[in-house]
Amino acid sequence: MIPVDTSVWIDYFNGDINAQTDALDTALIEGTVAIADLIFLEILQGFKSDKDYQIAKERLASLDQYSIFNSGMVEKCAQNFRTLRKRGITIRKTNDVIIATYCIKHRLPLLYIDRDFEPFVKYLGLTGEGRNFQDSH
């Protein structure tokens, strides 16, 4: 299974075509997409139209779901944030720290576009298909 970050879902729902949305489309067809509760929340918050909200909610609810943040993750997330901060890297969104840490801990690849995930790849072992995905295929 592959969790897909909100950054990719936004492009997908907006009809943008890029390597990540193509990969998402393929993974949806193959049935290998999972959604994290935090990402599900972020996606649903973004819909202005009630109709679009309902459609997205129903379709996304059919995916495998992960509950990714609990008390056991607090310290590991803080450690990862601090490790990057010591390298002079500040991650802009706590949600990205949580998502990346969960994927690292559970050895799940992450499909993303958001640049905040790059330091997790470079320094902490996050795997997946990100911003440089186009360059590697």
Question: How many other CB atoms are found less than 10 A from the CB of residue 120?
Answer: 27
- Supply the mean pLDDT for the chain: 93
Task: Give residue 131's pLDDT band: very low, low, confident or very high (50, 70, 90).
Answer: low
Q: Are 101 and 76 in contact (CB under 8 A)?
A: yes
Sketch out the chain's domains with CATH numbers.
2-136 (3.40.50.1010)
Q: What is the DSSP secondary structure assignment for residue 46, as one 8-state letter?
A: T
Q: In what order do the strands lie in the sheet with 64-66?
A: 2-3, 33-36, 64-66
Task: Give residue 129's pLDDT band: very low, low, confident or very high (50, 70, 90).
Answer: confident
Q: Are 36 and 6 in contact (CB under 8 A)?
A: no
Alpha carbon distance 16, 3 (integer Å): 19
Tokens matching residue 107: 């050895």
Q: Are 102 and 66 in contact (CB under 8 A)?
A: yes
Tokens matching residue 5: 């970050």
Looking at residue 128, what is its pLDDT? 84
Q: What is the DSSP secondary structure assignment for residue 100, as one 8-state letter?
A: H
Block residue for tokens 């973004």:
46
Task: Give residue 87's pLDDT band: very low, low, confident or very high (50, 70, 90).
Answer: very high
